[in-house]
Structure 1
Amino acid sequence: MLSIAVFSGSSSGLDPSYGESARELGRALAKLKIRLICGGGDTGLMKTLADAVLESGGNVLAVVPEEMEGKEAVNKGVTQVQIVPTISDRKRKIQEMADGFLVLPGGVGMMDEFFYVYSQAKLGVHAKPIALLNTNSFFSPIAAMLNNMVSQNFIKEKHMALISFCDDPTKLLSDIIHSLQE
């Protein structure tokens, strides 16, 4: 079974379009029989996405760090829970199990997870696709920052090709699947 890791916010954000995009992505994952791998949180876009997958008959694997016990509730509906010792272990485990990565709007945790898999791709640790769902132009400032890093010679142009940005959840998922089939 194909598995896609999705990093997203524990908040829903202010704009309802974030939740709408998460639900659309969740339904598309389930329809295509792609397993969602996530942190398993019971709030925000994390919950919206996982619930959409589950409501559509899909499969959700939550990778939960022991050190978060009591600090963050786990979505009780997930198909499977895998416990790891630390947040660092969660990032490594998700990277190992996922065939690709999608990033939805979120906060510092989402940014940490995104930059972890991006830097690992840049170093050649993995060659898995990474895509950011640019709902409501949320990631446009990140794209501008990364392009500035290229123009200032801190990132090579070829490393920008390791990630993609798209504002359509279905197209983004289709692009990821296409890149996995190449």
Structure 2
Amino acid sequence: MKTVAVFCGSRTGAPIYEEHARRLGAQLAARDITLVYGGGKVGLMGAIADSVMTHGGSAIGIIPSFLHSREIAHTGITELHIVETMHERKKMMADLAEGFIMMPGGAGTLEEFFEIFTWAQIGLHHKPVGVLNTHAFYEPLQNMLRHMNQQGFIDTPQLDIAVFDDDPVRLLDHLTQQ
């Protein structure tokens, strides 16, 4: 895996989330994996991009023009692409990525993750998908996916589409072995 799209918040949340974003960024750089992300320099987006760049890695940001000032586009990364719509952003991220990781974030982060998850369910891609479950942030999501399975809305093998781990290093180890 040479590129990974990371979905994460434009806010930092608790300090542990930013710490894990920086650890993940350092690991991406150390493994020569290019970060593909939303292009902002604020929140967890900025933290992971800064970490990748500080550790000598590459980061490709993709940001819609209407978010250019709100998410404060990161000009200190390897490449910054300004697109017109969120759909273009997500498509470009998916096209460039050989794998996906969701870190803590808000509704937009979940929306990006579920699009990729759904695409895997219906066979549109076979790329590894990981969830950085820092401080059990996504425990409710894991429980919801299990509940969907128990109620007959997700097949049991589809529960394995996304790998959940609370450690950035272990998560990357698992995704790069797929």
Q: Does residue 1:65 correspond to 2:64, yes or no? A: yes
The answer for the alignment partner of 1:22 in structure 2 is: 21
For the Cα contact (< 8 Å) 2:130–2:175, is it kept in 1? yes
The answer for the alignment partner of 1:158 in structure 2 is: 157
TM-score, length-scaled by structure 2? 0.97
Superposition pairs of residues 85-124 of structure 1, within 5 angstroms: 85-124=84-123
Cα offset for 1:59?
Answer: 0.2
Moved over 3 A (4+): none
Unaligned 5+ residue runs, structure 2?
Answer: none
Q: Equivalent residue of 2:177, what SS?
A: helix
For the Cα contact (< 8 Å) 2:10–2:71, is it kept in 1? no
Q: Distance in 2 between matches of 1:2 and 1:69?
A: 26
**Residues 147-176 of structure 1: per-residue CA shift (max 9 Å, x gap):** 000000011111111111000100101111
Q: Distance in 2 between matches of 1:80 and 1:61?
A: 5
Identity of aligned residues (%): 39
**Residues 48-91 of structure 1: per-residue CA shift (max 9 Å, x gap):** 11000000000000011123233321112111012222101111
Q: Distance in 1 between matches of 2:101 and 2:22?
A: 14
Q: Which moved more, 1:70-79 or 1:47-56?
A: 70-79
Q: Distance in 2 between matches of 1:69 and 1:137?
A: 31
Equivalent residue letter for 1:104: M
Superposition pairs of residues 138-153 of structure 1, within 5 angstroms: 138-153=137-152
The answer for the alignment partner of 2:12 in structure 1 is: 12
Cα offset for 1:123?
Answer: 1.1
The answer for the alignment partner of 1:134 in structure 2 is: 133
Unaligned 5+ residue runs, structure 1?
Answer: none
For the Cα contact (< 8 Å) 1:67–1:87, is it kept in 2? no
Equivalent residue letter for 2:151: Q
Q: Distance in 1 between matches of 2:97 and 2:159?
A: 21
Q: Equivalent residue of 1:71, what SS?
A: coil
Equivalent residue letter for 1:23: R
Cα offset for 1:116?
Answer: 0.8
Q: Does residue 1:174 correspond to 2:173, yes or no? A: yes
Q: Distance in 1 between matches of 2:82 and 2:46?
A: 18
Q: Which moved more, 1:154-163 or 1:139-148?
A: 154-163
